[in-house]
Amino acid sequence: MSTVVYLAAFVFAMTSVLLFRRPRRAMRNPLTLSTCVAVVLGALVFVCAAPATLATVNRLTGVPNFGAPLTYGMLSAYSCSVLVLLINWRGGSRERVRRLVLRCMAAYGLLIAAIVVLFLLAEADTERLNDLDTYYANTPFMREMILLYLLGHSAAMLAMCTVCVKWGREVGGLLRTGLRLILVGSLLDVVGFQVAKYTAVVARWTGHDLDFLSTTLAPPMASLAALLCSAGFVLPRLLPSARAQWRALGDYRRLAPLWTLVRSVSTAPKPPTGWWQLPQARLQWREVSIHDALLALAPYFDHRVRERVRDGALRAGGTPHRARLAAEAAMLADAARRAAAREEPPEAAAAYRLHATEMSGTSGLVELAQELNRPPAAATAPGGTVPPLAEPEEPHVA
């Protein structure tokens, strides 16, 4: 039981690390900050609710069942943070958002205080790690404390369901997907966790025993519901970034032929190779290094090579764009060969800017790299490229 709960807490913690990877920027963004707070509090709820944690807290404090108000207070704080996150997600004027957030925090602050006071007034001397809700369902003050934390959590989940249904009709894309996940998680929490708890407690009030609903069914349902809600909250924020990193990784790999060709003349600092470097950072370093190398190779550009390849590509039926791309790739390959051999710049060298360096982003460089990567057999196709230049034959010596 504790292992499963700790695993859920670990998933929550890793999610918060991903969201909070840039602390300064996150602190200035109320939406990111509230998302991180909600996820962290969700992780703490799971940690506090684990029987192993409850036993440790009770032993360290010397108070039987001290973990109960701690867990219930943490759950109430999580419910509050979820509502605050929804308020920030919904947006609006700064004053309106601030007013709603303060009201929500005040209401749940009073709820947490009431939970603590009721626990202090109750007599709960027998430690219960798994079935406290049903064991003390008929105990004065403990009964009210249990009912109070359930009502506070129910209010947050029902409010979340209402907002998700209403807002889901107005938005689309990833935001709608996230709202649907939150809605499913909230409904699962209401039905699988809260209804099970309410039923087990009411059964105790009427003299029946349905404790298994509270001890066996409710915990895994709560874990699954919280994971779905967290996925709904973080998906619209993490997935665009994940897609950008995936595209950056693809561009980084597609630039490999160009980087292999020019890396020997680049004077830019070597790109970091640590495992912690994300694809976008790696791509940026490679792009900067390639631009630096292209500047170094510019004096070796031979316009005769470029014009000869371009004219040949046009005669083969290629489009002007494909012809220029093939010509620039051939000229760049020739320049890299001359630089590697430490030859003098050609007489036909002149100022020339590659088309790839005039385009924003990495699309131009990627296109040039893929042209360099074309096999010789494909270069003869009428798609626009031409075979690589043949080396001039040496004169025969009699």
Q: What is the pLDDT of residues 341-378, one digit of tens each?
A: 888 887 755 667 888 888 878 888 999 888 887 754 33
Query: 318 — alpha (psi -120 to 50), left (phi > 0) or beta?
Result: beta
Say yes or no: 291 and 238 in one domain. Answer: no
Higher pLDDT, 313 or 105: 105
User: Is residue 67 one of the residues assigned to a domain?
Assistant: yes
Say yes or no to pLDDT of 21 above 80: no
Higher pLDDT, 173 or 249: 249
Confidence band (pLDDT; 50, 70, 90) for 37? confident
Higher pLDDT, 117 or 34: 117
- Cβ atoms of 329 and 301 within 8 Å: the answer is no
> What is the average pLDDT value for the chain, to the nearest integer?
82
Spatial CA neighbour of 336 closest among 322, 320, 354, 311? 354
Domain boundary residue among 194, 220, 243?
243
Place of tokens 């710049």: 345
Residue 105, both tokens: 């925090």
Say yes or no: 204 and 103 in one domain. Answer: yes
Say yes or no: 219 and 338 in one domain. Answer: no
Residue 7, both tokens: 């695993």
User: Is residue 56 one of the residues assigned to a domain?
Assistant: yes
Mean pLDDT of 60-74: 91
Say yes or no: 220 and 288 in one domain. Answer: no
Domain range enclosing 85: 2-243
| Number of domains making up the chain | 2
Say yes or no to pLDDT of 152 above 60: yes
User: Is residue 390 one of the residues assigned to a domain?
Assistant: no
Exposed/middle/buried for residue 358 (C-beta within 10 Å: 0-12, 13-18, 19+): exposed
CA–CA dist 332, 265 (Å, integer): 12
Confidence band (pLDDT; 50, 70, 90) for 379? very low
Say yes or no: 182 and 84 in one domain. Answer: yes
Q: What is the pLDDT of residues 166-209, one digit of tens each?
A: 888 888 888 888 889 989 999 999 999 999 999 999 999 999 99
What's the CATH code of the domain at 40? Answer: 1.20.1070
Say yes or no: 158 and 24 in one domain. Answer: yes
Q: What is the pLDDT of residues 277-299, one digit of tens each?
A: 788 888 888 898 888 888 888 88
Say yes or no: 207 and 287 in one domain. Answer: no
Say yes or no: 346 and 235 in one domain. Answer: no
Say yes or no: 187 and 121 in one domain. Answer: yes
Cα torsion through 262, 263, 269, 273, rounded to 10? 130
pTM above 0.75, yes or no: no
Length of the chain: 398
Confidence band (pLDDT; 50, 70, 90) for 212? very high
Q: Tell me how far CA of residue 397 lies from CA of 386, 390, 393, 394, in angstroms.
A: 31, 20, 12, 9
Most confident of 9-18, 25-34, 157-166, 237-246: 157-166
User: Is residue 265 one of the residues assigned to a domain?
Assistant: no
pLDDT, position 136: 93
Say yes or no: 352 and 230 in one domain. Answer: no
Say yes or no: 7 and 60 in one domain. Answer: yes
Confidence band (pLDDT; 50, 70, 90) for 394? very low
